[in-house]
Amino acid sequence: METVLVIGGTGNIGTSAVKASLNSGRKVLAVVRNQKSADKLIQNIGSAEGITFTEADVCSDTGVHGVVDQVRAGKLPAFQHVYSCVGGGYETTSLQDITTSYLRSEMNSSFESNLFAYQATISYLLEQKTNDCTWTLCTGGMGHIAIRPMPAMTQGALFSFATAACVENAKTNVRFNEVCLWFRVEVDAQAEENGAVKATSFAKVYEGILADRSIRGSRVTVNYVHAMINLNHKSKIMSFADIGKL
Ligand SMILES: NC(=O)c1ccc[n+]([C@@H]2O[C@H](COP(=O)([O-])OP(=O)(O)OC[C@H]3O[C@@H](n4cnc5c(N)ncnc54)[C@H](OP(=O)(O)O)[C@@H]3O)[C@@H](O)[C@H]2O)c1
Protein backbone atom coordinates (compact mmCIF):
# COMPACT_ATOMS: atom_id res chain seq x y z
CA MET A 1 0.00 0.00 0.00
CA GLU A 2 1.30 3.49 -0.89
CA THR A 3 1.92 6.27 1.61
CA VAL A 4 1.63 10.04 1.22
CA LEU A 5 3.97 12.28 3.21
CA VAL A 6 1.90 15.33 4.17
CA ILE A 7 3.67 18.48 5.36
CA GLY A 8 1.28 21.05 6.86
CA GLY A 9 -1.31 18.31 7.28
CA THR A 10 -2.92 19.79 10.40
CA GLY A 11 -4.41 22.81 8.58
CA ASN A 12 -7.34 23.37 6.21
CA ILE A 13 -5.66 22.18 3.01
CA GLY A 14 -3.62 19.54 4.83
CA THR A 15 -6.79 17.98 6.22
CA SER A 16 -8.11 17.66 2.66
CA ALA A 17 -4.80 16.08 1.52
CA VAL A 18 -4.94 13.54 4.36
CA LYS A 19 -8.60 12.77 3.62
CA ALA A 20 -7.86 12.32 -0.12
CA SER A 21 -4.94 10.01 0.63
CA LEU A 22 -7.07 7.80 2.89
CA ASN A 23 -10.04 7.89 0.46
CA SER A 24 -7.76 6.65 -2.32
CA GLY A 25 -6.59 3.65 -0.28
CA ARG A 26 -3.25 5.10 0.80
CA LYS A 27 -1.69 5.62 4.21
CA VAL A 28 -0.39 8.93 5.53
CA LEU A 29 2.85 9.99 7.16
CA ALA A 30 2.02 13.37 8.72
CA VAL A 31 4.78 15.75 9.79
CA VAL A 32 3.45 17.81 12.72
CA ARG A 33 4.95 20.41 15.04
CA ASN A 34 3.65 18.85 18.27
CA GLN A 35 1.06 16.53 19.82
CA LYS A 36 -1.49 19.35 20.05
CA SER A 37 -1.36 19.73 16.26
CA ALA A 38 -1.60 15.96 15.79
CA ASP A 39 -4.72 15.91 17.99
CA LYS A 40 -6.21 18.67 15.84
CA LEU A 41 -5.76 16.56 12.69
CA ILE A 42 -7.28 13.49 14.36
CA GLN A 43 -10.27 15.62 15.34
CA ASN A 44 -10.57 17.03 11.79
CA ILE A 45 -10.44 13.56 10.20
CA GLY A 46 -12.42 11.77 12.93
CA SER A 47 -9.84 9.00 13.45
CA ALA A 48 -6.09 8.33 13.51
CA GLU A 49 -6.45 5.13 11.49
CA GLY A 50 -3.98 4.95 8.61
CA ILE A 51 -1.96 7.95 9.86
CA THR A 52 1.58 7.80 11.27
CA PHE A 53 2.66 11.00 13.03
CA THR A 54 6.17 12.35 13.31
CA GLU A 55 7.31 15.64 14.82
CA ALA A 56 9.68 18.05 13.06
CA ASP A 57 10.31 21.77 12.64
CA VAL A 58 9.17 22.24 9.04
CA CYS A 59 10.35 25.87 9.03
CA SER A 60 13.98 24.81 9.41
CA ASP A 61 16.08 23.59 6.47
CA THR A 62 16.88 20.38 8.37
CA GLY A 63 13.43 19.45 9.78
CA VAL A 64 12.04 17.33 6.94
CA HIS A 65 15.54 16.03 6.11
CA GLY A 66 15.46 14.38 9.55
CA VAL A 67 12.14 12.72 8.69
CA VAL A 68 13.53 11.33 5.40
CA ASP A 69 16.59 10.01 7.28
CA GLN A 70 14.25 8.09 9.58
CA VAL A 71 12.34 6.72 6.56
CA ARG A 72 15.62 5.56 5.00
CA ALA A 73 16.55 3.91 8.32
CA GLY A 74 13.23 2.00 8.28
CA LYS A 75 11.96 3.78 11.40
CA LEU A 76 9.11 5.49 9.54
CA PRO A 77 7.04 4.22 6.57
CA ALA A 78 8.37 4.54 3.01
CA PHE A 79 6.42 7.09 0.95
CA GLN A 80 5.74 7.57 -2.78
CA HIS A 81 3.89 10.89 -2.74
CA VAL A 82 4.37 14.28 -1.06
CA TYR A 83 1.78 17.00 -0.43
CA SER A 84 3.07 20.26 1.02
CA CYS A 85 0.79 23.03 2.30
CA VAL A 86 2.56 24.80 5.15
CA GLY A 87 1.64 28.43 5.78
CA GLY A 88 -1.77 30.01 5.80
CA GLY A 89 -1.06 33.59 6.97
CA TYR A 90 -4.06 35.65 5.79
CA GLU A 91 -3.50 39.16 7.19
CA THR A 92 -4.47 42.37 5.36
CA THR A 93 -1.43 44.49 6.44
CA SER A 94 -0.62 47.09 3.76
CA LEU A 95 2.74 47.02 1.97
CA GLN A 96 4.02 50.06 3.82
CA ASP A 97 3.14 48.56 7.23
CA ILE A 98 4.92 45.22 6.69
CA THR A 99 7.75 45.12 9.23
CA THR A 100 11.00 43.32 8.55
CA SER A 101 10.29 40.70 11.22
CA TYR A 102 6.77 40.03 9.85
CA LEU A 103 8.15 39.76 6.29
CA ARG A 104 10.84 37.28 7.34
CA SER A 105 8.54 35.21 9.51
CA GLU A 106 5.88 34.89 6.75
CA MET A 107 8.43 34.15 4.01
CA ASN A 108 9.84 31.45 6.29
CA SER A 109 6.57 29.77 7.30
CA SER A 110 4.67 30.15 4.01
CA PHE A 111 7.42 29.94 1.37
CA GLU A 112 10.74 28.55 2.69
CA SER A 113 9.03 25.69 4.55
CA ASN A 114 7.55 24.35 1.27
CA LEU A 115 10.86 24.75 -0.60
CA PHE A 116 12.72 23.01 2.26
CA ALA A 117 10.18 20.16 2.07
CA TYR A 118 10.94 19.77 -1.64
CA GLN A 119 14.71 19.85 -1.12
CA ALA A 120 14.46 17.21 1.61
CA THR A 121 12.23 14.76 -0.27
CA ILE A 122 12.81 14.99 -4.03
CA SER A 123 15.94 12.78 -4.18
CA TYR A 124 14.11 10.07 -2.25
CA LEU A 125 11.26 10.08 -4.81
CA LEU A 126 13.64 10.24 -7.82
CA GLU A 127 15.44 7.14 -6.55
CA GLN A 128 12.16 5.21 -7.02
CA LYS A 129 12.72 5.31 -10.77
CA THR A 130 9.90 2.97 -11.84
CA ASN A 131 7.23 4.24 -9.43
CA ASP A 132 4.65 6.85 -10.39
CA CYS A 133 5.49 9.39 -7.68
CA THR A 134 3.85 12.78 -7.17
CA TRP A 135 4.77 16.03 -5.44
CA THR A 136 1.91 18.48 -4.93
CA LEU A 137 1.95 22.08 -3.71
CA CYS A 138 -1.07 24.23 -2.80
CA THR A 139 -0.97 27.90 -3.76
CA GLY A 140 -3.66 30.57 -3.77
CA GLY A 141 -5.24 32.94 -6.29
CA MET A 142 -4.42 35.67 -3.71
CA GLY A 143 -0.99 35.73 -5.37
CA HIS A 144 -2.73 37.20 -8.44
CA ILE A 145 -5.41 39.45 -6.94
CA ALA A 146 -3.15 40.69 -4.08
CA ILE A 147 -5.79 42.34 -1.90
CA ARG A 148 -3.86 40.89 1.07
CA PRO A 149 -0.27 41.95 0.24
CA MET A 150 1.78 39.60 2.45
CA PRO A 151 -0.12 36.38 1.58
CA ALA A 152 0.01 37.52 -2.07
CA MET A 153 3.81 37.84 -2.03
CA THR A 154 4.38 34.42 -0.44
CA GLN A 155 2.11 32.90 -3.11
CA GLY A 156 4.05 34.74 -5.84
CA ALA A 157 7.25 33.10 -4.64
CA LEU A 158 5.51 29.71 -4.52
CA PHE A 159 4.28 30.15 -8.14
CA SER A 160 7.89 30.47 -9.36
CA PHE A 161 9.12 27.64 -7.15
CA ALA A 162 6.38 25.42 -8.62
CA THR A 163 7.36 26.34 -12.19
CA ALA A 164 11.03 25.54 -11.49
CA ALA A 165 10.07 22.19 -9.95
CA CYS A 166 7.82 21.36 -12.94
CA VAL A 167 10.76 22.09 -15.27
CA GLU A 168 13.24 20.08 -13.18
CA ASN A 169 10.97 17.04 -13.06
CA ALA A 170 9.62 17.17 -16.62
CA LYS A 171 11.35 13.94 -17.60
CA THR A 172 11.41 12.14 -14.26
CA ASN A 173 9.15 9.66 -12.47
CA VAL A 174 7.88 12.50 -10.26
CA ARG A 175 4.71 14.31 -11.34
CA PHE A 176 5.11 17.75 -9.78
CA ASN A 177 1.87 19.77 -9.79
CA GLU A 178 0.64 23.03 -8.29
CA VAL A 179 -2.96 23.33 -7.12
CA CYS A 180 -3.94 27.00 -7.37
CA LEU A 181 -7.02 27.57 -5.24
CA TRP A 182 -9.18 30.65 -5.71
CA PHE A 183 -11.78 30.25 -2.96
CA ARG A 184 -11.71 29.60 0.77
CA VAL A 185 -11.46 26.02 2.06
CA GLU A 186 -11.62 25.29 5.78
CA VAL A 187 -11.81 22.24 8.02
CA ASP A 188 -15.40 21.00 7.99
CA ALA A 189 -16.64 22.32 11.35
CA GLN A 190 -15.22 25.79 10.69
CA ALA A 191 -16.37 25.83 7.03
CA GLU A 192 -19.97 25.29 8.12
CA GLU A 193 -19.77 28.31 10.45
CA ASN A 194 -18.00 30.58 7.94
CA GLY A 195 -19.66 29.56 4.67
CA ALA A 196 -16.37 28.24 3.25
CA VAL A 197 -15.96 25.02 1.23
CA LYS A 198 -15.32 21.95 3.41
CA ALA A 199 -11.84 20.38 3.42
CA THR A 200 -13.43 16.95 2.90
CA SER A 201 -15.08 18.21 -0.33
CA PHE A 202 -11.80 19.77 -1.54
CA ALA A 203 -10.18 16.33 -1.08
CA LYS A 204 -11.62 15.43 -4.53
CA VAL A 205 -8.92 17.58 -6.18
CA TYR A 206 -6.02 15.62 -4.74
CA GLU A 207 -7.81 12.31 -5.36
CA GLY A 208 -8.06 13.36 -9.02
CA ILE A 209 -4.36 14.26 -9.27
CA LEU A 210 -3.28 10.97 -7.70
CA ALA A 211 -5.51 9.00 -10.09
CA ASP A 212 -4.70 10.76 -13.38
CA ARG A 213 -1.15 10.14 -14.60
CA SER A 214 -1.60 12.66 -17.42
CA ILE A 215 -1.54 15.49 -14.86
CA ARG A 216 2.14 16.42 -14.58
CA GLY A 217 4.19 19.60 -14.65
CA SER A 218 0.91 21.47 -14.39
CA ARG A 219 -1.07 24.08 -12.56
CA VAL A 220 -4.48 22.74 -11.53
CA THR A 221 -6.72 25.80 -11.29
CA VAL A 222 -9.58 25.43 -8.83
CA ASN A 223 -11.60 28.61 -9.26
CA TYR A 224 -15.14 27.34 -8.69
CA VAL A 225 -16.65 24.32 -6.97
CA HIS A 226 -17.24 22.27 -10.15
CA ALA A 227 -13.50 22.56 -10.83
CA MET A 228 -12.96 20.22 -7.85
CA ILE A 229 -14.39 17.35 -9.97
CA ASN A 230 -13.51 18.26 -13.57
CA LEU A 231 -9.88 19.21 -13.05
CA ASN A 232 -8.66 22.15 -15.13
CA HIS A 233 -4.93 21.53 -15.61
CA LYS A 234 -2.43 23.25 -17.84
CA SER A 235 1.32 22.69 -18.22
CA LYS A 236 3.50 25.24 -16.41
CA ILE A 237 6.41 24.55 -18.70
CA MET A 238 7.01 27.25 -21.31
CA SER A 239 9.29 27.25 -24.33
CA PHE A 240 10.90 30.42 -25.72
CA ALA A 241 8.38 30.17 -28.61
CA ASP A 242 5.56 30.52 -26.05
CA ILE A 243 6.84 33.98 -25.03
CA GLY A 244 5.59 35.43 -28.30
CA LYS A 245 2.07 34.18 -27.55
CA LEU A 246 1.83 36.07 -24.22
N1 LIG B 1 -7.42 27.51 2.95
C2 LIG B 1 -7.60 28.06 1.78
O3 LIG B 1 -8.73 28.30 1.35
C4 LIG B 1 -6.42 28.36 0.88
C5 LIG B 1 -6.71 28.97 -0.35
C6 LIG B 1 -5.64 29.22 -1.22
C7 LIG B 1 -4.35 28.88 -0.88
N8 LIG B 1 -4.12 28.30 0.33
C9 LIG B 1 -2.72 28.00 0.65
O10 LIG B 1 -2.57 26.72 1.21
C11 LIG B 1 -1.55 26.74 2.22
C12 LIG B 1 -2.16 26.22 3.54
O13 LIG B 1 -3.27 27.03 3.91
P14 LIG B 1 -4.26 26.55 5.07
O15 LIG B 1 -5.50 27.36 4.94
O16 LIG B 1 -4.35 25.06 5.10
O17 LIG B 1 -3.47 27.08 6.36
P18 LIG B 1 -3.66 26.61 7.88
O19 LIG B 1 -5.00 26.01 8.09
O20 LIG B 1 -3.27 27.76 8.72
O21 LIG B 1 -2.58 25.42 8.04
C22 LIG B 1 -1.23 25.70 7.88
C23 LIG B 1 -0.38 24.48 8.16
O24 LIG B 1 0.97 24.93 8.23
C25 LIG B 1 1.48 24.69 9.54
N26 LIG B 1 2.28 25.86 9.96
C27 LIG B 1 2.01 27.17 9.75
N28 LIG B 1 2.96 27.93 10.29
C29 LIG B 1 3.84 27.07 10.88
C30 LIG B 1 5.05 27.26 11.60
N31 LIG B 1 5.55 28.47 11.85
N32 LIG B 1 5.69 26.16 12.06
C33 LIG B 1 5.19 24.91 11.81
N34 LIG B 1 4.06 24.68 11.12
C35 LIG B 1 3.40 25.76 10.66
C36 LIG B 1 0.27 24.52 10.45
O37 LIG B 1 0.64 23.76 11.58
P38 LIG B 1 -0.18 23.86 12.98
O39 LIG B 1 -1.48 23.14 12.76
O40 LIG B 1 0.70 23.21 13.96
O41 LIG B 1 -0.41 25.33 13.23
C42 LIG B 1 -0.68 23.80 9.50
O43 LIG B 1 -0.36 22.44 9.41
C44 LIG B 1 -1.06 28.20 2.29
O45 LIG B 1 0.06 28.36 1.47
C46 LIG B 1 -2.23 28.98 1.73
O47 LIG B 1 -1.85 30.21 1.18
C48 LIG B 1 -5.12 28.03 1.21
The string of pLDDT tens digits covering residues 208-246 is 999 999 999 999 999 999 999 999 999 999 888 888 887
Answer whether 63 contacts ligand 1 (Cβ < 6 A): no
The residue to mutate among 10, 29, 183, having the most atoms of ligand 1 within 8 angstroms of its beta carbon, is 10
Q: Are 26 and 1 in contact (CB under 8 A)?
A: yes
Answer whether 11 contacts ligand 1 (Cβ < 6 A): yes
pLDDT tens profile 134-143: 999 999 999 9
What is the rounded distance in angstroms from the CA atom of residue 178 to the CA atom of residue 162?
6
| Distance from Cα 11 to the centre of ligand 1, integer Å | 5
Q: Where is average pLDDT lowest: 110-124, 127-141, 167-181, 231-245?
A: 231-245
Instruction: List the CATH number of the domain containing 200.
Output: 3.40.50.720
Q: How far is CA 167 from CA 94, 142, 224, in A?
A: 33, 23, 27
Number of domains in the chain: 1
Angle (CA) 238 239 245, round 5°: 80
Answer whether 143 contacts ligand 1 (Cβ < 6 A): no
Sign of CA dihedral 86, 4, 122, 78: positive
Answer whether 199 contacts ligand 1 (Cβ < 6 A): no
Read off the pTM.
0.97
pLDDT tens profile 47-61: 999 999 999 999 999
pLDDT of the residue at 88: 85
pLDDT tens profile 26-45: 999 999 999 999 999 999 99
| Distance from Cα 150 to the centre of ligand 1, integer Å | 14
Looking from the CA of residue 141, the nearest atom of ligand 1 is 6
Higher pLDDT among residues 246 and 207, named by residue: 207
Angle (CA) 194 154 172, round 5°: 105
pLDDT of the residue at 244: 83
| Distance from Cα 14 to the centre of ligand 1, integer Å | 8
Domain that holds residue 82: 3-243
| Distance from Cα 154 to the centre of ligand 1, integer Å | 12
Sign of CA dihedral 160, 132, 124, 239: negative
| Distance from Cα 66 to the centre of ligand 1, integer Å | 21
Looking from the CA of residue 88, the nearest atom of ligand 1 is 17
Q: Are 137 and 114 in contact (CB under 8 A)?
A: yes
Answer whether 137 contacts ligand 1 (Cβ < 6 A): no
Helix (H, G, I), strand (E, B) or coil at 140: strand
Gap between the terminal Cα atoms of the chain: 43
Q: At what angle do helices 113-126 and 149-168 cross, to 10 degrees?
A: 20
pLDDT of the residue at 22: 98
The count of other CB atoms within 10 Å of the CB of residue 196 is 17
pLDDT of the residue at 220: 98
The mean pLDDT value for 155-173 works out to 98
pLDDT of the residue at 242: 85
